A and B are shown apart, each in its own frame.
Chain A
Amino acid sequence: MLCQNCEQNEANVHITRIINGEKTEVFLCEECAEEKGQFSLESEAFSFQNLLSGILNPDVSSSVSREAALKCENCGLKYGEFSETGILGCAECYDQFSERLEPLIKRIQGSSQHEGKVPKRKGGDLRLRNELNHLREELDQVIAEENFEKAAELRDQIYELEDRLGSEQK
């Protein structure tokens, strides 16, 4: 059989992709396969959603089908629908499916604790707490560097934030 791409060399590489149950087969020669490999970086064939549904639908055991029937009480999305599309229905879904989502989030993101920006109004004292944590880390660092002038400055800032946090909690 000849390579489906260049139609010149003998096809000795066989690529099968199964995405959402749809099977595609390609027969290529080594050269073209290598070239294709270059493009596979950008290929949609393995988008996140495809991979996710692969992770979520490994086989059809009874526990999986029970899981699929789980439903978000707020928006009505079934867990099974999420595992097909990778898209949740509402913010509440994160709580409703938390047990199942947590390991998944860890797998995708490598972490399950937010470290970044906190909305000013909605975040409450979390914003101050994060700032406080950063200052404390910085303090440790400047002490290690024996930069005591800077350390004194940071310490004052930390006291001030602690005061603010304390008064907000009362």
Chain B
Amino acid sequence: MNIGDQNLKLSQWISGEGPQQDIVLSNRIRLARNLEKTAFPGRAGREELSKISKKIRETKEVENKNNLKYIEVNNISPVERKILVEKNLTSPFHLQNHPEAGLLINEEENICIMINEEDHIRIQVLTAGFQLNSSWEKADKIDDNLEKDLDFAFSKKLGYLSACPTNLGTGLRASVMVHLPALNFTNNINQLLGAVSQLGLVVRGIYGEGSESAGNIYQISNQVTLGNSEQDIIDNLKDVTLQIIEEERNTRKRLLSERKNYVTDRIMRAYGILRYARKISGEEAMELISQVKMGIDMGVIDSLDTKMLSELMILIRPAHLQKRFAFEPGEQKEEIKRASLIRERMKQSS
């Protein structure tokens, strides 16, 4: 199977056009579901896994609605798999050669259902900006429709039963991807993130569990899934995120009024390097793009558009570069190609 043509196209939610997009890049709702009387993927045999996958793909929801396209993980190349992870459409775990693991993705790439990951089904809805409620409504509906044809493992006491007890109950993981350069710059970030964890939320890097933060982007999500309703979980995340947005905005304002020369110099230097560098690492590029994005959002730079920058944050990742410029992993070309792609996009946009 070739998903090549779709590979380098970026989904609408990645471009970052949505409410509060100066700080919230995107949001995601994920629901974990399992079929009853069936072993969880980690324990099921190949034949059983294949039956599970077929059952899910043959539901009316998948066959008739949403224009979902099926991608079987083992049928695509390693680069294409990594691209799916870089776009945050799936997890690295899902791609580790599990038999019968697959993804159902719609054309807009804002609905992505993982099959046979840790759980039989993981419904994901992704949206640009800060729109948790509409993402939840969409996911809730897909779940309702899938349930018309599938019997989910459910207990009155423990709710939806998941392979790992951390996902029990609602099976809901709601998350927002926030861009917090000013808070990081003023060293207030750790304090803030510490406070967040006391409110039942978890902070992670850009690629979820186990990943480091890059480009001042943090993923904030609910920690517990059992004992609160979906709406309560989402409201809590929303309330806390709103406060974080407020903090970040205030810090940006203070930076502009109290340390204007220093902060504008930093932003313009970052811009300069991105415009003219001939070779750049992913880490440095992310940091500089983050500063330039802040510069645009703060009105320091007005000749660029943020959509281009949000896209660059994905396009400069290793697998995306490999696919675009067709070189082998480990070749020295990555940093050179990254710099040239950034220069080209910056020039077009300015």
- A41-B193, A115-B227, A116-B169 given as contacts; is B205 within 8 A of A87 (CB)? no
Of residues 99 to 127 in A, which have CB atoms within 8 Å of B's CB atoms? 101, 104-105, 108-123, 126
Of residues 270 to 326 in B, which have CB atoms within 8 Å of A's CB atoms? none
* A159→B180 CA distance, assembly (Å): 50
Majority-rule SS of A interface residues: loop
* A3→B203 CA distance, assembly (Å): 28
Interface size on B, residues (CB 8 A): 53
* A139→B224 CA distance, assembly (Å): 28
Residues of A within 8 Å of B164, CB to CB, are 48-49, 86-88
Does B2 make an interface contact (CB < 8 A)?
no
Q: Are A87 and B40 in contact (CB under 8 A)?
A: yes
Q: A25 CB to closest chain B CB, in angstroms?
A: 20
* A86→B93 CA distance, assembly (Å): 15
Does B56 make an interface contact (CB < 8 A)?
no
Q: Are A108 and B224 in contact (CB under 8 A)?
A: yes
Residues of A within 8 Å of B156, CB to CB, are 114, 123, 126
Majority-rule SS of B interface residues: loop
Q: Are A109 and B226 in contact (CB under 8 A)?
A: yes
Does B168 make an interface contact (CB < 8 A)?
yes
* A113→B168 CA distance, assembly (Å): 10
Q: A57 CB to closest chain B CB, in angstroms?
A: 16
Interface size on A, residues (CB 8 A): 40
B interface residue numbers (CB < 8 A to A): 34, 36-40, 42-43, 118, 140, 143-144, 147-148, 151-161, 163-166, 168-170, 172, 189-190, 193, 203-205, 209-213, 224-230, 232-233
A interface residue numbers (CB < 8 A to B): 37-39, 41-44, 47-49, 75, 77, 85-91, 94, 101, 104-105, 108-123, 126
